[in-house]
Chain A
């Protein structure tokens, strides 16, 4: 007995796009989401404007959600988690726990789209003092401030004048264990820097970096305008520590170009935190018995040309469950997972045959 349904796990940008893709190819979808709402991290983490086009995250995710909810082939289960998976490709049986208790879903194929979580800067071994200094915040913290329309120093409610971003927090770090580059933080920081300069026109905004990694068009879409039109000051040299000095923050590091130490006073420090596998991604890797890499992201079975097949036949993954990815990469791989899962089901005898 085989199933012609595809189960998609996770209703963020990747899961929504995969579910839509499968349904539009004429196949039944069950979309399983642990949270009690759809939209994933962009909604959960209060993203304001998406990179690189400043589209409202709420509107953009709203459109994705509408397309899924309006398709009669998609069944959406929120507040639901997958607890086990038995069977084989074409004939999986998934145990789920949800508002209605325990249930079993039959699935021909599964797409894991459980995404990432932001690196917790409390875990960093460097001295950025995220939990000590209220004015040290992260990219998503600032994103939430931008969304609220008010960027104020958490310590005293004043408008910050000197603001800096510190790149590569939680990424490219053997000590922390995240040796990879998180790909998106240079672009997000630059986007937020532009928004800060628009929001507080007399502010001075700095980005301290090891290398700027602005892939493809982000270079000309974000990095160059930030520097050339918004006077964001890019400084080659990473910050080693953040100290409190009076009511300001003293950031200390190396000015790489000058080969000299530097220390500059800031009103607010934004840590450009990277990506780590979400709790759901780690759990689903275990539930489905698919291979993850040493960082906990699900591994592609046949890289680099097959980006969505996992070590277990019939189980696919996409988006940032497989490693750091921007939105463009995320929805692209979601489309590929939809196509591959449907193609696999069609190659097998259908239930009614």
Chain B
């Protein structure tokens, strides 16, 4: 197989036990070492339209068969750059008989949508992948680490397998009072849908606390669901668990129906994507905002206390940017912070490079590492560091932990990863002890 334009040697298949019968004595002989080494067939012999038709017959996956092999997706696919994988290659491999439902390629796509952005034939991996993964899920053919997250989500209502009763534990150190609707169900303007990583992850909790302080200081009337909150589960849907997503949606909608609120805001672009696009398809419409969209129009009302002497670059979350077209709100917030110098990475906005967390990638780190030369988050952090920035600003709860790990593993500890709300909070005078 060619990787990076170079032909690679055939893949060796080691057999644990190879036994042959001697043609002289009739005895069985175990063959050790090189004799039981076999090579994958190099000549392509199978061209089977059935494999394509099997995928293309799935609802949503029709467009796989439309690929005409132009290759525009190759340089923008974040995975193609670090591995032998890409939308065009998927098409070609399936055209030569690969069973996508059994293939490791099925789990490498992060549904970042950059291929669809450039595809002249509109081959839509954002729909193909969930449809094909749903088949693999129903066949019970799911990488273990992802299956684990599905089960945790099913059991606890969050991907981390945390205790649902500890959903609001972060509020203790927020420094401002936090209203929980189950205790005080009176009508509220903004329902803050905290989602999993801001509820439970240590770095996420800090961001949730910062956001709570900012909303309160801006005089926003807000509240949370607390222990009643369950994840919206959009990434679980894209990873192939549509059934789980829809079951969660029933629970989420039932909970939301109990309370009166006019807007719903979430820090999670994946949850936001579902509220903006998937819920309405199923008859549930809410006035949904990503937190940057809630804060951006209020930026002039923020009372700044401090200049931040940082050079900052910003990573566009795929599900806020490409999927939902919001590029300006986060930039408006960053650029309003006094003292701060903003600089863009080469790949930004519509062409932002994926962190690797979308479409279930967040829970496939080990699996993906076995099929790629580098984590997407590592590649992104290197690009951020090359801008000479002190801070890589993010606004997706997946990213702080992903990029902090990547900054360490690539030797870029000087690059601090901060959520935009943490930067705003700091410039408003809050200092962590």
Bound Cα distance from A235 to B47, whole angstroms: 9
Whole-angstrom distance between the Cβ of B9 and the nearest chain A Cβ? 13
Given A231-B49, A233-B95, is A261 in contact with B69 using a C-beta cutoff of 8 Å?
Answer: no
Bound Cα distance from A255 to B89, whole angstroms: 12
* Beta-carbon contact of A234 and B69 below 8 Å: yes
* Beta-carbon contact of B1 and A259 below 8 Å: yes
Residues of chain B contacted by A255 (CB below 8 angstroms): 44, 92, 96
How would you classify the secondary structure of chain B's contact residues: helix, strand, loop or mixed? mixed
Residues of chain B contacted by A235 (CB below 8 angstroms): 47, 95
Bound Cα distance from A259 to B45, whole angstroms: 13
Residues of chain B contacted by A231 (CB below 8 angstroms): 49, 52-53, 65
Q: Is A195 an interface residue (CB 8 A)?
A: no
Q: Is B7 an interface residue (CB 8 A)?
A: yes
Taking CB atoms and an 8 Å cut-off, the chain B residues in 32-72 that contact chain A are 42-49, 52-53, 65-66, 68-69
Q: Is B88 an interface residue (CB 8 A)?
A: yes
* Beta-carbon contact of B89 and A261 below 8 Å: no
Given A233-B95, A235-B95, is A260 in contact with B66 using a C-beta cutoff of 8 Å?
Answer: no
* Beta-carbon contact of A263 and B45 below 8 Å: yes
Residues of chain B contacted by A206 (CB below 8 angstroms): 47
Residues of chain A contacted by B1 (CB below 8 angstroms): 258-260
Interface string of A257-282 (1 = CB under 8 A from B): 11111111000000000000000000
Q: Is B2 an interface residue (CB 8 A)?
A: yes
User: Interface residues of B, CB < 8 Å — how many?
Assistant: 24
Contact pick for B43, options A212, A234, A260, CB 8 Å: A260
Given A257-B69, A257-B92, is A233 in contact with B45 using a C-beta cutoff of 8 Å?
Answer: no
* Beta-carbon contact of A261 and B52 below 8 Å: no
Residues of chain A contacted by B2 (CB below 8 angstroms): 258-259
Q: Is A204 an interface residue (CB 8 A)?
A: yes
Whole-angstrom distance between the Cβ of A263 and the nearest chain B Cβ? 6
Residues of chain B contacted by A261 (CB below 8 angstroms): 42-44
Whole-angstrom distance between the Cβ of B172 and the nearest chain A Cβ? 57
Residues of chain A contacted by B96 (CB below 8 angstroms): 255, 258
Residues of chain A contacted by B44 (CB below 8 angstroms): 255, 258, 260-264
Bound Cα distance from A206 to B96, whole angstroms: 12
Bound Cα distance from A233 to B65, whole angstroms: 9
Whole-angstrom distance between the Cβ of A259 and the nearest chain B Cβ? 4
The 3 closest A-B pairs by CB, nearest first: A259-B2, A262-B44, A257-B92
B contacts, CB < 8 Å to A: 1-2, 7, 42-49, 52-53, 65-66, 68-69, 88-89, 92-93, 95-96, 121
Q: List 19 A-B contacts (CB under 8 A).
A: A204-B49, A212-B68, A224-B66, A227-B65, A227-B66, A231-B49, A231-B53, A231-B65, A235-B47, A235-B95, A255-B44, A255-B96, A257-B88, A258-B44, A259-B1, A260-B1, A262-B45, A263-B45, A264-B44
